Structure 1
């Protein structure tokens, strides 16, 4: 016959205390003297007792679960955020409940509202403009957002997109690039800041940039946008992409069109996704500290759950330039090289 699991009554009997004392000790709702806590700890370990999370949540009103809503689990930027957030959650005896909104603004609110009913607090990445997310406050659950909120009393964490874009643009200028395009993603809350950073840097040098927009923050969107940019009469010497996925797709299509990288065009991105280092050529990028972003967001939420007032507090992480082989130095004033005379055709 299978041995039954130890119960809270068994622990109480072994420690010679009441069931209520065991419950309060297990749920961290009351402290006891050192000898009593030592007896409780010894009894729990000896019996191998494990509390029932559902029963505990019914008593305390807490689930010990944190909700994390991200935009696309396939994007390594977000998987790195999950990794960082989960590390801090585990260290503090919390479980992470993940929701992937799949870049769908239509379903985003519905999914986050459902998530709020099952967790103690939430960390949210959203494409919604700030004026459209008041409803998150009305859920009456602590929330931490990625990206700064200027009007709402919600703690947030992010990386300085304006500075990151400026640094990338400065790198290209220092490498002698004068004809530069920016391939962005207009639905992102950070896209305007990146355009502003790139534009400001080039304006200081008396130059302008060409701005284009990808239909999604994906490698496929980078592929799709490449030909219109690279086969245009005013072909750029370098392309700054909204993120690394767009940059990797752009590079793939540029090679398919017959261009050599970085000889014909330099390409850069944002996020420092893990496999950007293994692309050919390896991708120059801005490290936005995605994993650290997840760690900071989780710690902010745990602080709020512990009773600390984090309303409106914004933590800004410093971006770091990672220079690899997808950029090369070009003679200042040099015109773009001519279009290849023969281009390999991709199969339909």
Structure 2
């Protein structure tokens, strides 16, 4: 006779072991009610002793929650977004949530439809988007809690960001202090954060009686940084310092500049934003601004759970950036 497979423990078994009702077990494991410390200790002990686990499908039917949240990012190849996902996942694990992340691949065309479809499968969303400000009401209309990377409180959506304007101003003042006067900004106009970074750099330079030179890349990537070198450095009025929209652009720009025979930082200083891990390992190492990627992901996830629980009103939160000085910027050599 074949041995019988032991059945998995049930809520009734937990209730009998802990000396409580089955309804108490249900309310406890589904997060619907808190009990006295002594009762919860007995419940935890019984659950551990029996090896009881909650069927997630059954729990979602009871609570109306999936205990899954989504993080929608622009490009997983960019370590800035990888850091956001890492921070969000760490906090999700602490709070007992599963994380689903979606890479939009910088595509705007099908974004609204994708967000609507995704919202039906999760309890809430954290969204990084190239969506124009005029279309941000799409996020509110999802009828699910949303945390947005950028400023979106005007449409009733909570937002988390880092202060890009002050970050760019810090870089500008740093380069001015090094004696640079011809300072260029290599931007990416399609990005939500580009305008505030451009404005912050302009603020710092105008304080010193200077005007920045502006150039634009066609994407925020290593390859676009490489392609931009000819336009930025090979003209008649070559800048002696270049601030790039992000570290990916800066690293690609710096590599191609060196391949073209331009010495960094002796002939041109280069800086970026985000402080991605690769910035510490480039040659020379890259001066940048830490935009708090992982901390931003953690905070966004924490705020999303508060929105789901109904304990938070939508507002704007901004993290403070940190200037990271490395070898790619140096004092201007006077000739």
- TM-score w.r.t. the length of structure 1 is 0.91
1:327 to 308, 313, 329: 329
Match of 1:83 in 2: 86
Match of 1:318 in 2: 320
SS of structure 2 residue aligned to 1:158: strand
- After the TM superposition, which parts of structure 1 deviate over 6 Å for at least 4 consecutive aligned residues? none
2:197 is the counterpart of 1:194: yes
Unpaired runs of 5+ residues, structure 2, are none
More displaced, 8-17 or 262-271? Answer: 8-17
Root-mean-square deviation (CA), in Å?
1.6
Shift of 1:34: 5.2
Q: For the Cα contact (< 8 Å) 1:166–1:201, is it kept in 2?
A: yes
C-alpha deviations, 1:208-232, integer Å up to 9, x for none?
Answer: 2211111111111101111121111
Unpaired runs of 5+ residues, structure 1, are 336-348
Q: For the Cα contact (< 8 Å) 1:300–1:310, is it kept in 2?
A: no
The within-5 A match list for 1:197-208 is 197-208=200-211
C-alpha deviations, 1:305-344, integer Å up to 9, x for none?
Answer: 2222322x1111111111100011014xx46xxxxxxxxx
Q: For the Cα contact (< 8 Å) 2:189–2:216, is it kept in 1?
A: yes
Aligned equivalents of 2:44 and 2:172: distance in 1? 58
Check 1:49–1:250 CA distance in 2 against 1; reply closer, same or farther (3 A cut).
Answer: same
1:56 to 56, 59, 62: 59
The within-5 A match list for 1:19-34 is 19-32=22-35
Aligned length: 332
1:246 to 241, 246, 249: 249
Match of 2:13 in 1: 10
C-alpha deviations, 1:144-175, integer Å up to 9, x for none?
Answer: 11111252111111111111111101111110
- TM-score w.r.t. the length of structure 2 is 0.94
Match of 2:218 in 1: 215
The within-5 A match list for 1:250-265 is 250-265=253-268
Shift of 1:35: 5.2
Check 1:8–1:193 CA distance in 2 against 1; reply closer, same or farther (3 A cut).
Answer: same
The within-5 A match list for 1:45-194 is 45-149=48-152, 151-194=154-197
The within-5 A match list for 1:297-316 is 297-311=300-314, 313-316=315-318
More displaced, 291-300 or 10-19? Answer: 10-19
More displaced, 36-45 or 165-174? Answer: 36-45
